Structure 1
Amino acid sequence: MFGRCVTGLVWVTSCVFLLAAFTPPKVAPWESKPCAIDGVEGEVRCGTYEVLENRADSNGRRIPLKIVVLAARAAEREPDPLFILAGGPGQAATDNAKFIARTFAQVRARRDIVLVDQRGTGGSNPLSCDLYGRSAQDHLRDLLPLRALRQCVARWQEHADLRFYTSVLAMADIDEVRAALGYERINLFGTSYGTRTAQVYMRQFPDRVRAVILKGVTPITTPLTLPMARDAQRSWDLLCEDCAADPTCHAAFPNLNDEFEAVFARLERESRSTGKAKSRM
């Protein structure tokens, strides 16, 4: 009986969160101002738009979402913009404004490009935490040290309810931003984790989607981290097979996999430290 009650409680709680995500909020106008971004030409507008952290609690905490709009260059613009959905999860779309403006220059000729830092990223109540030091070697140690992770969670809980930082709610935010900016339908571009959020948006708001571009698709049904080691090994095995079948590659690397395994074996016997290193990202 207790098990049934617990199961029912979990089901009801899940339904509450889903209903909150799909409940249309009262959309306020977006207040923006012209801004300058190094390396980005043309009209750029920046601002924030507040959304409810818990969409079922109108009196609860509000999250300011950081937004950058790279305005279309032509006087006659298409009505449907391109929304860029960042990867990660955890990347901030606005951090890549310069790269996006250059990469999507042809798209921007006639369409606005909209960058939104999703809740918990970038300038939108970020859930960032320095798990490592400055050494590149630290990134090769335990992926998620439990003690450090607990410290991060405690820090996040000072300004966020972690239950509400999900892909479903983030895409509800995106649709609210769409409405606030006055767009009827939008185009989506997602890469890596951004392909997953694009699929979530398509599922939640199919009538608001004109077109979708997915690069490096991550299916909704696939756990983000669990298959990584297996998939990486398969990719390496296929690379070795392709090299062995290619005369030029085979001549240059006749024992590619053996040499690779030898490096790992040597590191197992005699570990090496990278020392201090500075990121080039």
Structure 2
Amino acid sequence: MKKSLCLAFAWLSVGHASDLELKPCFIGADGSSVSTAAHCGTLTVPENRDQPERTIDLNLAVIKSTSTEKLNDPLLLLAGGPGQGAVDTFAGLVNIFKALLPHRDLVMVDQRGTGQSNPLRCEVSPEDLETLSDLNSDAWKAWTKDCHDSLDADTRYYTTSEAIRDLEAVRLALGVQQWNLYGGSYGTRKALTYMNMFPESVRSVVLDSVVAQEEALGTSHEANLRQTLTRVFRLCDADEACNEAFGDAEQQMWKFLDGLKETPITLRLQNSDTGRYETVTMTRDYAVLALRMFSYSPETMGLIPLMVSLANNGQPETMAHQSLMVMNSLNQGLNNALEMSVTCAEDVPFMPKETNQTNSLFGDNLFELMHARCELWDSIVVDDSFKAPVESDIPTLLLSGEYDPVTPPEFADQAMETLSNAQHLVAKGQGHIVGTRGCMPGVVTDFIKDPEAELDSSCMKNFRDFSFFINMNGPKE
């Protein structure tokens, strides 16, 4: 611990912590209806701490407590992805944590490579989706090289560990005694890494939809999504109205996907962002993207059998529209080049080199393609110790959704094995990210107020399985 703090102070001496000035501002993504009052600023840090002459600016926002009894342990909100910027991601969610505001600040820092912290992003069009997943095509090679060469960054230094050193610099610059951490999805890796690198800087931790430190992101995507889809279809089978309306919806899904593999469908769709009509080729990958995104929340899980049935009976527009909206959202909110930098350093080297699976939702050559892409991307593979389970006695609350298609409850159980002061709550019928749903903000607030107290989670009994949409008018109760 002493070594870590010394390193932090050493490089700060050549940084610009004194330049950190917070001014009133409004935060919220461009084009959204969110406009939240905050105080914003930038902190200049070295891109490569061994060569501090080249710097980048970290964008941060603080929702300030006005209490005369304010505590010096703010809640630091860690976004997921990899590739989401914290400021825009949490701008519309700060009211969920408002019960903490009487006595604590809320702090959001765009991870280097995201948001307004030297973002690393390359455009992906719907037309690119198929060629970029084809191992036998040269298109993905050209796209990857062009993307990398277009970046004003040394991609070797856009990793989780560097992001945590940035956050420690922010803590010191703000004069914060300790953080309370809330991380969702990939944000839980950042939280676990912070706990490991600077344990004395952390008071309590909430891990929402947990990525265990030893997990190589992407390795389990196929198994996890299949598990969620299978459970959704089984629930439909057991639901009289859903079963009567759609029959064997799972087989219909496979039939439709197999058909797209042989013959993609050309559609003319209205782009929800621009309002213009576009000609879109609906491929198998395009449809899988929609199914995956629909699996994230209970509201959209209930649409899956209907969406599959419509697509399999000559009406694929609904699924295609959803894929287009997801693609637009990913292009706007996710910095895909930062994702490449993180995964090529921290995940892909720890994956199998062959998928060894036929009829895979994500493609039969997924792992081979990911390894090949990373061979074209400048990165430094993390030491094996980075992937070791994080051992800690910091009070930690782990949250999972029962049907999470990305980070199932088993991931949290795995991480919890080496967290000696932790508890794990599973929300029935929920998907990915549960800390903002139902009564969970109150549970999270109670935990952060007193991390050592016995936590009352009885309100979670109100969670239940989702309802299925029998038609586009809504679910049939």
Deviation at 1:172, TM superposition (A): 0.8
Q: Measure the CA separation in 1 of the matches of 2:90 and 2:252.
A: 41
2:369 maps to which residue? none
Match of 2:132 among 142, 151, 171: 142
1:53-97 CA-to-partner distances (Å, cap 9, x unmatched) read 111223x21111001111125343222111111111111111134
1:152 maps to which residue? 147
1:34 equivalenced with 2:20 (yes/no):
no
1:49 maps to which residue? 43
Q: Measure the CA separation in 2 of the matches of 1:174 and 1:52.
A: 13
Q: Measure the CA separation in 2 of the matches of 1:274 and 1:75.
A: 60
Check the 8 A contact 1:101/1:108 in 2, yes or no. no
1:166 maps to which residue? 159
Query: Is the alpha carbon distance of 1:267 and 1:143 closer, same or farther for their aligned partners in structure 2, counting shifts above 3 Å?
Result: closer
Structure 2, unmatched stretches of 5+, are 29-33, 135-139, 274-324, 330-477
Deviation at 1:244, TM superposition (A): 3.0
Query: Is the alpha carbon distance of 1:240 and 1:21 closer, same or farther for their aligned partners in structure 2, counting shifts above 3 Å?
Result: farther
Deviation at 1:21, TM superposition (A): 10
2:199 maps to which residue? 206
Match of 1:256 among 249, 252, 257: 249
1:124 maps to which residue? 117
Check the 8 A contact 2:5/2:198 in 1, yes or no. no
Q: Measure the CA separation in 1 of the matches of 2:72 and 2:218.
A: 38
SS at match of 1:146: helix
SS at match of 1:211: strand
Structure 1, unmatched stretches of 5+, are 1-18
Amino acid at match of 1:45: H
Deviation at 1:143, TM superposition (A): 4.2
SS at match of 1:23: helix
RMSD of aligned residue pairs (Cα, Å) = 2.5
2:55 maps to which residue? 62
Question: Aligned residue pairs: how many?
Answer: 256
SS at match of 1:35: strand
Deviation at 1:20, TM superposition (A): 9.2
Taking the TM superposition and a 5 Å limit, the aligned residue runs for 1:176-255 are 176-247=169-240, 249-255=242-248
Q: Measure the CA separation in 2 of the matches of 1:171 and 1:153.
A: 23
Q: Percent identity?
A: 34
Q: Measure the CA separation in 2 of the matches of 1:251 and 1:78.
A: 57
Check the 8 A contact 1:21/1:55 in 2, yes or no. no
Query: Is the alpha carbon distance of 1:140 and 1:20 closer, same or farther for their aligned partners in structure 2, counting shifts above 3 Å?
Result: farther
Per the normalisation by structure 2, the TM-score is: 0.49
1:12-60 CA-to-partner distances (Å, cap 9, x unmatched) read xxxxxxx999822336232221223465555x211100111111223x2
SS at match of 1:180: helix
Query: Is the alpha carbon distance of 1:73 and 1:247 closer, same or farther for their aligned partners in structure 2, counting shifts above 3 Å?
Result: farther
Query: Is the alpha carbon distance of 1:141 and 1:104 closer, same or farther for their aligned partners in structure 2, counting shifts above 3 Å?
Result: farther
Q: Measure the CA separation in 1 of the matches of 2:94 and 2:112.
A: 22
Deviation at 1:188, TM superposition (A): 0.8
Amino acid at match of 1:34: P
Query: Is the alpha carbon distance of 1:141 and 1:229 closer, same or farther for their aligned partners in structure 2, counting shifts above 3 Å?
Result: farther
Deviation at 1:140, TM superposition (A): 5.2
Q: Measure the CA separation in 1 of the matches of 2:121 and 2:74.
A: 29
- Farther-moved stretch of structure 1 (243-252 vs 197-206): 243-252
Deviation at 1:262, TM superposition (A): 2.5
